[in-house]
Chain A
């Protein structure tokens, strides 16, 4: 097979890497920016410390869940390691009434939405299929079928338009919707259809693609020949690439995109350029398909270290602050451990709950059949 080498590489650290919005370098230096600085001019030392805390806690939720999986308490976990800044930056850009449509990896966004992280564990422990209330958190259920949620987000945003909750200038009314998805997902028909729907209807939706370079074992090159953010132009709305490991930049670009949406200016595609530092999920073995050197390259761009360096350099916090965050992370981990083990196992008959709003008689008959069957064992025990 021949590959046209004149085409710009889709990802990687090549010299031709397209421009990306960066406000904080991997070394923790603040990069001034004529445009984006204004979008985060409210972020002073307390807010920076807040973002740092979010990043650390998001990582701790994740590492604790990985540990719980290893101990057999969870069946599976999809780690966000390396993607904390993309998730916290975008998550903190949201207003309470904005609505989020996540994949299965957005634990950091869930944290920002105030979802108790213990609630995230149920799906992975196998006791439920989404243990939080999407209505009260404005954080939809995790979607495992790749890309499907991008259409849901777009449709939700069409509803927002019809409710007149766009472009009124009232910050308590104007609403944006954000859809998260991965680089692999951009190949799905659903995602491309979502782009079209959003474009044609000028819907208040932000497409937030975390390009973590891998879709399980497939590198970005298997999905695209152009940088992903450029796809947006063809669909008729703006796209941009942001340093996904830079929480300030992610905050700034997402704020801007959400505001465009709320103002009735339509969709935006944000490509957060980041890296999946861990395995795809706890069942995956990345050493089969990628080089350790790549990991080392990205380790230097760690999303948390750079914020810490920035704080230390600017003397925006003292050691006590870092110790407090560590202690809080420990507490959160302890909460997760306890809450995980205490998650109630569903009873057999719960299988039949919520299949319908109005359950039909034949289904209820099947449930009775199960009850009678289970009772027959209990009766047998009693007879013995």
Chain B
């Protein structure tokens, strides 16, 4: 057992993947000598060399586009996008090239690329540093999209993402980077990459969240328990494909569902979860599926971000609203 925070856990996962497969490369802005602005790749260039840990020119389209070429040549690039808001210069390469290559080549070409993105708000940052763009990629067929919420998942999921023969968007909850947990690095992952997980059992309502909001929802569940309400919390973990089995199973018992994410509401992951759960659990639902999310505005200035981001109170408010039905 080793105590890791999420930064260290991903670092250790990357290291193990690089040790295990010489084709694994890391590329991005400041990932080499500096070890990334969050130090996720700290020490990797020193140990694996500049050929495998590449400080790229400052161009996201270039990072993703050359990763495509490297992947075509048999490498497994792990690209770092420095902050969520800076993925967009690389968006065309991701959506038009990375996502479609396997399809267009009738399965002849594979792009085992991982694109790591620290995402989400709550860190008091300036604009473009707090966004939750996962929905754009969930909406894009051909991409797999996952996000970890704790060090154990961070450690295993990054390795599983690198092993994936499909391209994976790997979203890292930056406001949770320094949350610690014990990680058994000798063991093996308890879950496949594309599986949701019940992280707290409960009976009165189901709360589904992912990434940074899992912790918020767990805290909400603790607070709710003090008031005699039992919430089941599910960490979705994988957004594309969505693994709604555990959610549906849970909703069949509780009859109520609240979906929580930082990203803006319209056409977000919550909308898809609500639609699918309604299709599957129409007769078991006691109330409409509620969404507790960011609002449909650009991410605001940091002094008001606490009003934008779902917090414990807003999650409980959502739970109240579903229980009021």
* Interface assignment of A362: CB less than 8 Å from any CB of chain B: yes
B182 touches A (CB below 8 Å) = no
Q: Are A123 and B300 in contact (CB under 8 A)?
A: no
Query: If the complex has contacts A188-B58, A348-B307, are A216 and B296 also in contact, measured as CB distance less than 8 A?
Result: no
Q: Chain A contacts of B307 at CB under 8 A?
A: 348, 351, 370
A187 at the binding interface (Cβ < 8 Å):
yes
Which residue of chain A is the closest to B294 with respect to CB atoms?
A351
B55 at the interface (CB under 8 A from A): yes
**Contact residue range for chain B?**
35 or more
Taking CB as reference atom, which chain A residue is nearest B304?
A346
Known: A125-B303, A188-B58, A345-B303. A362 touches B296 (CB 8 A): yes
A214 to chain B, nearest CB (A): 10
Known contacts A75-B124, A144-B126, A366-B296; A190 and B57 CB within 8 A of each other: no
Q: Pick the contact of B58 from A125, A184, A283, A350 — CB < 8 Å? A: A184
A194 within 8 Å of B by Cβ?
no
Point out the residues of chain B lying under 8 angstroms from A348, CB to CB.
304, 307
**Shortest beta-carbon distance, A128 to chain B, in Å?**
6
Q: Which 9 A-B pairs have the closest CB atoms?
A: A126-B302, A217-B34, A187-B57, A348-B307, A184-B58, A126-B303, A187-B59, A187-B58, A351-B300
Inter-chain contact B62/A216, CB cutoff 8 Å? no
Would you mind naming 21 contact pairs between A and B with Cβ atoms under 8 Å apart? Answer: A1-B50, A75-B126, A75-B302, A123-B301, A124-B126, A126-B126, A144-B128, A145-B128, A187-B58, A187-B59, A188-B58, A216-B29, A217-B30, A222-B56, A288-B34, A345-B303, A346-B300, A346-B304, A351-B300, A351-B307, A352-B297
Whether B298 pairs with A355 at a CB distance below 8 angstroms is: yes
Query: Nearest CB to that of B127 among chain A residues?
Result: A129
What residues of B have a CB within 8 angstroms of the CB of A345 in the complex? 303-304
Interface-centre pick from A129, A184, A363 (highest chain B CB count, 10 A): A129
Q: Is B201 an interface residue when CB atoms closer than 8 A count as contact?
A: no
Whether B317 is near chain A, meaning CB under 8 Å from some CB there, is yes
Q: CB-defined interface of B117-151 with A at 8 Å, one 1/0 digit per residue?
A: 00000001111100000000000000000000000
Distance between Cα atoms of A346 and B297 in the complex (Å): 15
Residues of B within 8 A of A40 (CB): none
B37 close to A128 (CB less than 8 A): no
Q: Is A127 an interface residue (CB 8 A)?
A: yes
Question: A189 is contacted by which of B30, B61, B85, B317 (Cβ under 8 Å)?
Answer: B61
How many Å from the CB of B140 to the closest CB on chain A? 20
A363 near B296 (CB under 8 angstroms)? Answer: yes
Interface string of B30-73 (1 = CB under 8 A from A): 10111101000000000000110001111101100000000000
